[in-house]
Amino acid sequence: MTPLIAGNWKMNTTVHQGAELVIRLRELLKGIDTVDVVLAPPFTSIHHLSHLVADSPIKLAGQNFFWEKSGAYTGEVSAEMLLSAGCQYVIIGHSERRTHFKESDEEVNRKTLAALKSGLRPIICVGESLEERERGKTVKRVSSQLQNALSGVAGSAIREVTVAYEPVWAIGTGRNATPEQAEEVHNSLRDLLYEMYGPDAVKDVRIIYGGSVKPDNIDSLMAQPNIDGALVGGASLKAEDFARIVKFQPM
| Contact region with ligand PGA (CB under 6 A), list: 15-23, 78-86, 114-122, 227-235 | 227-235
Asked if 231 touches ligand PGA (CB under 6 A), the answer is yes
Q: Can you spell out the DSSP letters for 77-96? A: -BHHHHHHHTEEEEEES-HH
Q: How far apart are CA 186 and CA 180, in angstroms?
A: 10
| Contact region with ligand PGA (CB under 6 A), list: 31-39, 69-77, 225-233, 240-248 | 225-233
Residue 94 bears catalytic tag: yes
Asked if 101 touches ligand PGA (CB under 6 A), the answer is no
Instruction: Give 3-state DSSP helix, strand, coil % of the chain, rounded to 5.
Output: 45, 15, 40
Q: What binding mask, one character per residue, do residues 3-32 give for ligand PGA by CB under 6 A, x or -?
A: -----x------------------------
Question: Which is catalytic among the residues 94, 103, 132, 183?
Answer: 94
| b/e code 30-58 from CB counts within 10 Å (16+ = b) | eebeebbbbbbbbbebbebbbebbeeebb
Query: In the range 158-217, which residues lie near ligand PGA by CB under 6 A?
Result: 166, 171-172, 210-213
Question: Which is catalytic among the residues 96, 103, 128, 166?
Answer: 166
Query: At residue 50, what is the residue type?
Result: S
Positions marked catalytic: 94, 166
